[in-house]
Amino acid sequence: MSYRGWSSRSSKSGLTPLRVIRNSRSRPQFVIDEADRMRGIHVVAGSGSGKSLLIGGNIAFGDFMRHTPQVLFDPVGSMIDAFLMRIASVPNPTQDEFCSRILYVDMSARGAHLVPFPLLYELGGETRHDVAERFLATCLAIDPQLQSASIQGWNALQRTGLPVGIILASLGLQLDSAMDLLRRPEAWTPRLNEAVVRHPDAAPAVAFIRDEYIPATPSRRAELTASYRAKVEPFTLDPTMRAMFCSTPSGVDWHRVMADRLTVLLDFRGETNPGKRLFKTRAAFDYVREFVRHRGPGAHLPLALHIDELTELTNAQSLDQSLFARDLDYLLNVLMRGFSCPVTVAHQSMHQVAESTQRTLMSMGTHVIGVTTDVESAEFLARHVVQFDPQRVKRWERVWASESKPAIGFGPAYTNHFVIDKREVNWPLDEQLYVAARALRNLRPFEYLIKPKGRSTLVHASIKRHVGNPWPTDHADLLTDLRDRLARQACSAVVQIGPPAPVPSVTLKDSDAHHDPRDDDDQLDPLYWRS
């Protein structure tokens, strides 16, 4: 496939090299090469500086043209719009081919189409414990206060959540069945036996329900499950959450994403509920991270990850916590570099994140800095990306000497002043910092100062000619139509939102061992999503 000079020949890494036009009238293009991509791109620029256009229109579209599988996290939608604007600008036969490589996920699930993100999922080879622990880890990430609550906190959540999750995962069920298991554990006895038969490693979890939970008094049961109920109740009470997070199979099949080199657009703009938005953002992020981790280290085909508005991945409470910094550090310093997952991270100001997170972000390979109005942020960035020279000459001063002349004849004695040398005056580091910070604040929109990896000087670059024509904001209707089309394409079946189905009673037979209930149409949950 070739479009306007984008070639389709594959490089040794399996990615398509780009062909960019270079003539005498155009300025040279600034390119971040493949090796530097693996060190990450950190974009920090204020609102209105065009960072979403930069990531969506240039970096993500460039990855798309290179046939790099990628995921775009966009809490506000502007990065995805910039990406789709580039797609919409392509002539139609090529546009259809491009659209077939895009998986658009409207995370608000407000439309008729919904892409499931089951919370109990298998990537292959992991234990039921691993499967069950993921949801609890997501809960901890969005609510780090759980760790400090000793009674109804993380310990209580794990004590109940792990056994319930293991049993549900063993039975091929999702979290919408958890409340039924906790309310009527006696009715689940046959299914508990089935879980052990299917997966013997579920026996300790079944033993907890059978030996501790069922004999307990109602008050003791409530005490045991209070924390966990609070976390899983949304999946029973909210039909949209249930449809999205309790339907199987997953709408984002990572093996297909990698094989077909898809671009996954995770669009959170429609989700206005802060709590749901935070959970969905974090759950999707964990979903991607788990897949990258599951692939293991090595020279895989890269899976690029672009995150706009990084701070949306966490809440205000956890900003100052080390948990988010630890997660980010793991993503950037372990997964990105060792697991072939080049990451692009964008946010508005350095002071949106805690000090530990700042250090992690500044350890990334390439820094792209746009205009900012935040003085402190500009000074912080200047201190980190500009190389100051203590010997930098500010001005030259003349060195004077004088010579006394005696009176000659009737004339008076006088002193003659003259220059004997010149002396350099160095620029104080504080002043250099001030000037550098002012340069960052005086940048124009769509202009960036780029600190490439391994270079001491900055590169001044502009994206205006790349992304300015046409502007995404001028074609809102066109983009809405394209998003609708992609959303329809992503779902081959409309998920029906309705009440949860009662758990069917089953009679365990020998032939049912290792039997997947998803294979039987009559046992399908009405929310079951079939591709």
Partner 1 sequence: MASIPPTPPPPDVPLGPQMCPHARSFADWCDTLVSAATAKNDLVSLNQAKLLLIDRYFMWRVNVPVRHQVFPRPTSVHVCIFAVFESAYRRLQDAILALGPSPLVHPPYPAPPPPPAPMYETVNGIVVGETLDKDFEP
Whichever of 162 and 369 has its CB closer to partner 1, that residue is 369
27 sits near partner 1 (criterion: CB under 8 A):
yes
CA distance to 159, 204, 211, 218, per residue, from 223 (Å): 11, 20, 16, 9
- CB 472, min distance to partner 1, A: 17
17 sits near partner 1 (criterion: CB under 8 A):
yes
Rounded to an integer, what distance in angstroms lies between the CA atom of residue 8 and that of residue 16? 6
Whichever of 461 and 478 has its CB closer to partner 1, that residue is 461
Rounded to an integer, what distance in angstroms lies between the CA atom of residue 71 and that of residue 263? 6
Virtual torsion, Cα 373, 379, 385, 391, nearest 10 deg: 130
| Size of the residue set binding partner 1 (CB under 8 A) | 51
29 sits near partner 1 (criterion: CB under 8 A):
yes
> In the set 352, 462, 489, 523, which binds partner 1 (CB under 8 A)?
462
Rounded to an integer, what distance in angstroms lies between the CA atom of residue 348 and that of residue 167? 43
**CA 199, 134, 298, 322 torsion-angle sign:** negative
> In the set 71, 109, 283, 449, which binds partner 1 (CB under 8 A)?
449
Question: Quick one: which segment of 152-160, 200-208, 271-279, 440-448 binds partner 1 (CB under 8 A)?
Answer: 440-448
305 sits near partner 1 (criterion: CB under 8 A):
no
Whichever of 63 and 81 has its CB closer to partner 1, that residue is 63
- Please identify which residue in the block is written with the tokens 């899983």: 232
> In the set 2, 7, 47, 373, which binds partner 1 (CB under 8 A)?
7
Rounded to an integer, what distance in angstroms lies between the CA atom of residue 464 and that of residue 209? 61
Residue 6 DSSP class: B
Task: Residue 266: name the closest of 490, 481, 68 by CA.
Answer: 490
66 sits near partner 1 (criterion: CB under 8 A):
yes
Whichever of 162 and 436 has its CB closer to partner 1, that residue is 436
Phi, psi of 480, rounded to the nearest 5 degrees: -60, -45
> In the set 1, 2, 8, 31, which binds partner 1 (CB under 8 A)?
31
Q: DSSP of 354-423, one letter per residue?
A: -HHHHHHHHTSSEEEE-----HHHHHHHHHHHS---TT-EEEEEEEEEEEEE---TTSPPEEEEEEEEEE
> In the set 216, 258, 334, 461, which binds partner 1 (CB under 8 A)?
461
458 sits near partner 1 (criterion: CB under 8 A):
yes
Question: Quick one: which segment of 72-80, 212-220, 254-262, 454-462 binds partner 1 (CB under 8 A)?
Answer: 454-462
Whichever of 368 and 527 has its CB closer to partner 1, that residue is 368
Exposed, middle or buried: residue 331 (CB in 10 Å: 0-12, 13-18, 19+)?
A: buried
> In the set 39, 52, 63, 292, which binds partner 1 (CB under 8 A)?
63
Whichever of 310 and 386 has its CB closer to partner 1, that residue is 386
Provide the binding-site residues for partner 1, judged by CB under 8 A.
5, 7, 11, 13, 15, 17-23, 26-34, 36-37, 54, 58-59, 62-63, 66, 368, 382, 386, 432, 435-436, 438-440, 447-450, 457-463, 465-466
